[in-house]
Chain A
Amino acid sequence: MSYVLKLVSTPKVLIDARSISPNKFAGKSLDEIRKLRILEGGAEATLDTLFSVDGPSKASQDPNSIEIIIENSSNKLCFIGYKMSGGKIVVKGDVGHFTGYKMSNGSIIVHGSARNYLGCKMRGGSIEVFGDVGHRAGGKLHGEKSGKGMRGGTIVIHGNAGSYLGWGAGGGAIIVDGNAKNFVGADITSGTIVVKGSAGIYPGFGMSGGRVVVGGRVEAMSPSFYIDSIVPSLKVRGISFNKPFATFIGDVLSSGRGVLQISYEDNKNIIDVYKQFLEESI
């Protein structure tokens, strides 16, 4: 059972669209869905003032059987899939901030780009983005403890990611096909973050557990990691890298035992400094 939401006018301000979620649609008639509350800037509005909504006249009680398709989407739409626990959302276009905030199951597919806090504090389910994403994908909120970010599920990003990818994550997996900016996997306590391309400065900064893999060049390494070994090839979450990787343990600043693995060939100048410690210890 699928609902098609088509944006009729281009919004000029951010829209709190947290009612676009299979959980909110479940058990409602089409008219009730059209009257769901959204916030346009600070002003209250209903779903049908911005979208043309089409679909079956009565949604089923089970959110798992509901599919929502957003056409002609805009990057002003925030909180899509807020706390969803099942079902599917397909976005043909961009999305705004906080997509999939605290979602626990189901899937979101974005055929465009997403802005900050994609999959923030998510507990399960999957998010796939074909474009780029902003900062703090899979992250926690400011001021929260480490490990309060994403706790489960997977985020797959086919484009590039911004800074603080997976900030403070406590589980789950993030896979980026492109590049990421600074502080990949900062403050994570558990979970896996894989960046196939390059990363900015200090990947894994403040991590106390989990695993961060960077398959390309790293701009700078935090000095608070110590080297463990150099492995000839790597396989993580079904992704194979046929090149050597250097494995670091850290971050000692937060007395962590996390694993940071960066490509050896792309970062020879960085890893060679550590290499003497490696030979000494052997």
Chain B
Amino acid sequence: MMEILIRNGIVFDPLNNIKGEVMDIAIKNGKIVDPKEIDESKAVVVDAKNKVVMAGGIDIHSHIAGPKVNVGRMIRPEDHYLTNKPHKLPYTRAETGLTVPNAYRIGYGYARLGYTFVVEPATPPIKTRHTHHELNSIPIIDKAAYVLVDSNWIVLDLIKEGKKDLLVAYLAWLLYATKTYSLKLVDPGSDVAWVLRGRGIDIDEEIPFYGITPKEIITAVAEAAQVINIPHKVHIHCNRLGYPGNYVTTLKTMTLSESVKRLAPGPAMHITHVQFTGYKGDSWATLESGGEEIAKELNRNPNATLDLGQVILGRPATTMTADAPFEFVLYHLTRWKWASSDTEIDSASGIVPYRYRKKSYVNTIQWVIGLEIALLANDLWRVFITTDHPNAGTFFDYPKIFAWLVSKKAREDTMKEVNQRALRKSVLPSIDREYSLYDIAIVTRASPAKLLGVESFKGHLGIGADADVAIYDINPNEVDISKNYDVFIKAFSRAWMVIKSGEIVVKEGEVVKTVYGKTFYVKPEIPEDVEKNLMSYLEPAFKQYYTVALDNFVIGKHEIRNPFEVSIKTHLR
């Protein structure tokens, strides 16, 4: 392993409270060590003078793998035309695609941005084997996945029958069996309601056939997550996503986090891509931003976290979600093409290509919501920057979002081009707040690491942390990023150097070495008698519901390229 010494970089490391100090970072055996331990004559010395040094970025929500991404690739051939970049061995494989790129472009693209850990946020249990095969072929970055449990018939049955202990045991077993990291709820109950009634439901309404409400599902799963004690508790895509007036549902869901019976400190639930669930108004014509209310609720309620799902205007996107009912609605709005796919007993998904237009009233409101929430939030440790790639925009455009956050001028320049009627109805033009580089380091490095429970070795540059480092060619002491945001976007679009696990993988925005990152998953400890009890329930249930045998359902450790097991002490008895 190489020894690397990064000299005189301007370091931003919120977890260790370092705000732009000039210091040296030393790397040995893939870990960050004290600079004294390094033999300078043997080490590779990197002169990072006048450059920003941060830990590798962490993206907690980006659809990078799984069956729906593949369906997206299939229905969007025009997304891949003329975007090809031939392979350049020995470093890079061929890259293709824009909103639904191939596995290689995803890995290289994230590495070029300085991101080193990305989470795929929705994988149906039955299709998770495929998700892992795709994750295995994504180069450079570390990966993890959240498993979908909202429409799983076994979960719904257990909640309906009130077997809480069995539910906890099943979810713990499911996390390990599918080798995933956390639990994901997508519009709970809506798939069933849509099939039977043709429309989605609010969290207080009863799910037909099961007779329970989405509220009960959210509470039951959130409480189960407390008992299993997984680091990232539960990832929620709210009900009525994409309908005008849905911010009320989001607020109700956020308040639910207070009533969850808690066994561990920290946030109890995470509300994801909140932009799509922050609409005020009765119809598309009277749509307004609910960003202010959501930000207020976030500031009041310390138990919830959220990520933005920020819209990028004027760029193509592909909406893909396990919320098939919403995609059905979106198809009727766009009238182009639509793919819907269903899995046995687990979930469904829909894919619709979309383009957010600058002059569109609705799209401008969508653009405003994400920024309002990010700028009105007091506690940056509970806000995360995502575009819900590729739903609201691609991850390649993250630097644009950073620019809108750090620079009021960037926002004003974009505001000149967007729909003015929509702007008049929002508070965004009156917000003066600007993020600093330290704040950007919080929302992209430190707080995601904390949310995923990996803050001991990821997301910071302290001694003992994994050597995932991103260096950007910008000097914040000379360049005023709030005025010269173009320079800032340029620097953050192509990292000057990225180090992954102690190897230099990107130099001046070009990939120079291909390594393969780890796949993170949790292993909750399940007591033997609980497991026996669970199996006696699961075996007949599997025979009844699935076409797959129980033994074949479990994903083996050998099927994962670089497994990284996070053992967890549960509160199961």
Q: Which chain A residue lies CB-closest to B337?
A: A143
> Once bound together, how far apart are the Cα atoms of A143 and B337, in whole Å?
9
Q: Do A142 and B94 touch (CB < 8 A)?
A: no
Q: Are B86 and A143 in contact (CB under 8 A)?
A: no
Chain B residue with the shortest CB-CB distance to A39? B86
Is A220 located at the chain interface by the 8 A CB criterion?
no
B164 at the interface (CB under 8 A from A): no
Chain A neighbourhood of B336, CB < 8 A: 145
Contact: B81 with A141, CB < 8 Å? Answer: yes
Chain B residue at minimal CB-CB distance from A146:
B336
How many angstroms from the CA of A228 to the CA of B252 in the assembled complex?
60
Q: Which 10 A-B residue pairings sit nearest by Cβ, starting from the closest?
A: A143-B78, A42-B86, A143-B77, A142-B77, A144-B78, A141-B81, A141-B78, A143-B76, A145-B336, A42-B87
Q: How far is the CB of A19 from chain B (nearest CB, A)?
A: 15
Interface centre among A39, A42, A43 (most CB of B within 10 A): A42
Give how many B residues have a beta carbon under 8 Å from the other chain's beta carbons: 11
Smallest beta-carbon distance B29→chain A, Å: 36
Scan residues 138-191 of chain A and give those whose CB is less than 8 A from a CB of chain B.
Answer: 141-145
B residues whose Cβ falls under 8 Å from a Cβ of A: 75-79, 81, 86-87, 94, 336-337
Which residues of B sit under 8 angstroms from A142, Cβ to Cβ? 77-78, 81
Contacts of B87 in A (CB 8 A): 42
* Per-residue interface assignment for chain A, residues 44 to 85, with 1 indicating a CB less than 8 Å from any chain B CB and 0 otherwise: 100000000000000000000000000000000000000000
A-side interface residues, number (CB < 8 Å): 9
A155 to B336, CA, bound (A): 28
Interface centre among B75, B86, B87, B337 (most CB of A within 10 A): B86
CB closest residue in chain A, given B80: A143
- Complex: A39 Cα to B94 Cα, angstroms: 14
A42 to B81, CA, bound (A): 16
* B76, B78, B87, B336: residue with the most chain A Cβ atoms closer than 10 Å: B78
Using Cβ atoms and an 8 Å threshold, which residues of chain B touch A44?
A: 86
Question: Across the interface, which residues of A come within 8 angstroms of B75, CB to CB?
Answer: 143
Q: Is the CB of B94 within 8 A of A143?
A: no
- Interchain residue pairs with CB less than 8 A apart (20): A39-B86, A42-B86, A42-B87, A42-B94, A43-B86, A44-B86, A141-B77, A141-B78, A141-B81, A142-B77, A142-B78, A142-B81, A143-B75, A143-B76, A143-B77, A143-B78, A143-B79, A143-B337, A144-B78, A145-B336
A194 to B336, CA, bound (A): 28
Query: How many angstroms between the C-alpha atoms of A43 and B88 in the bound complex?
Result: 8
Closest to A101 in B: B82
Residues of A within 8 A of B79 (CB): 143
Interface centre among B76, B81, B87 (most CB of A within 10 A): B81
How far, in angstroms, from A141 to B77 measured CA to CA in the complex? 8
- Minimal Cβ-Cβ distance residue in A for B335: A145
Q: How far is the CA of A45 from the CA of B79 in the complex (A)?
A: 26
Interface string of A11-44 (1 = CB under 8 A from B): 0000000000000000000000000000100111
B89: nearest residue on chain A (CB-CB)?
A42
Please report the C-alpha to C-alpha distance between residue A144 and residue B337 in the assembled complex, in whole angstroms.
Answer: 10
User: B161 CB to closest chain A CB, in angstroms?
Assistant: 46
B20 shortest CB reach to chain A, Å: 41
Interfacial chain A residues near B337, Cβ < 8 Å: 143
How close is B136's CB to chain A, nearest CB, in angstroms?
Answer: 24
